[in-house]
């Protein structure tokens, strides 16, 4: 049995995934599952934690920048 997970891909990566699945005559889910399995097999838990923290910090900086722009919306015209 398997679970469903939704992901967002940049257009270029989506095109590459589509092409790889066609070339291998496999479904995109199969390609993604194999790639993720290989990635996780060669990545240590400490590396995963570091990457999660890096992405969290990057997202927080992006959120902060968006909130900074909201201040300008209050200016009188």
Residue 40 contacts by C-beta under 8 Å, 6 or more apart in sequence?
48
DSSP per position, 13-70: HHHHHHHHHHHHT--HHHHHHHHHHHHHHHS-HHHHHHHHHHHHHHHHHHHHHHHHHH
> Per-residue confidence at 2, pLDDT binned at 50, 70, 90?
confident
The pTM for the full model equals 0.59
Nearest to 22 by CA among 9, 14, 44, 12: 14
77 vs 32 pLDDT, higher one = 32
How many other CB atoms sit within 10 Å of the CB of residue 33? Answer: 14
Query: How confident is the model over 13-69, as pLDDT tens digits?
Result: 999 999 999 999 999 999 999 999 998 899 898 988 888 898 888 888 766 655 555
């Amino acid at each position: 049995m398997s679970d469903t997970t939704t992901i967002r891909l940049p257009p270029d990566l989506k095109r590459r995934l589509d092409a790889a699945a066609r070339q291998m005559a496999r479904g995109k889910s199969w390609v993604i599952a194999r790639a993720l399995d290989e990635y996780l097999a060669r990545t240590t838990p400490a590396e995963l934690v570091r990457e999660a923290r890096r992405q969290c910090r990057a997202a927080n900086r992006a959120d902060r920048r968006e909130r900074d722009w909201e201040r300008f919306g209050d200016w009188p015209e």
